[in-house]
């Protein structure tokens, strides 16, 4: 166990490695979201999904709870936010959700499942958003 002590003009824990804490600027600069490649021949080749920002996820969740559509077209709505190119840039606009929802359910579900996993959204989380 480490001891808190004052030595050489500073407080510190001894006998432990010094924690490498990021600065405010470093943390706020961490805005490049991880990207995952998804093999999807139905869409012609590979597609990528990215982690949502905290603001995007909050907006998605609020939209599921407050929107008159609620849970309707949830797969397309998440894929619109998460589908991206290899550099992490979104390939769909929010308005594309309805048109995307009219495409193959199987293909969309593959991308949705990857986006859900990458964003830490468990099945129970999505059901909770739906109010079930």
Q: Are 38 and 85 in contact (CB under 8 A)?
A: no
Q: Are 36 and 118 in contact (CB under 8 A)?
A: yes
Please indicate, yes or no, if residue 6 is contained in any of the structural domains. Answer: no
pLDDT confidence of residue 7: 63
Domain CATH for 98 = 3.30.2220.20
Structural domain span for residue 112: 33-129
pLDDT confidence of residue 64: 82
pLDDT along the chain (132 residues), means of 10: 59 59 85 91 91 93 74 92 96 96 95 95 65 53
pLDDT confidence of residue 83: 97
pLDDT confidence of residue 62: 86
Please indicate, yes or no, if residue 113 is contained in any of the structural domains. Answer: yes
Number of domains forming the structure of the chain: 1
The structure's pTM equals 0.75
pLDDT confidence of residue 11: 62
């Amino acid at each position: 166990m480490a001891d808190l002590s004052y030595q050489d003009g500073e407080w510190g824990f001894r006998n432990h490695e010094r924690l490498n804490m990021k600065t405010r600027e470093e943390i706020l600069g961490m805005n490049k979201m991880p990207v995952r490649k998804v093999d999807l021949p139905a869409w012609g080749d590979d597609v990528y999904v990215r982690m949502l920002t905290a603001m995007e996820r909050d907006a998605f969740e609020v939209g599921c709870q407050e929107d008159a559509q609620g849970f309707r077209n949830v797969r397309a709505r998440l894929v619109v936010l998460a589908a991206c190119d290899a550099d992490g840039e979104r390939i769909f606009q929010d308005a594309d959700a309805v048109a995307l929802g009219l495409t193959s359910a199987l293909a969309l579900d593959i991308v949705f499942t990857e986006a859900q996993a990458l964003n830490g959204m468990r099945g129970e989380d999505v059901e909770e958003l739906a109010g079930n």
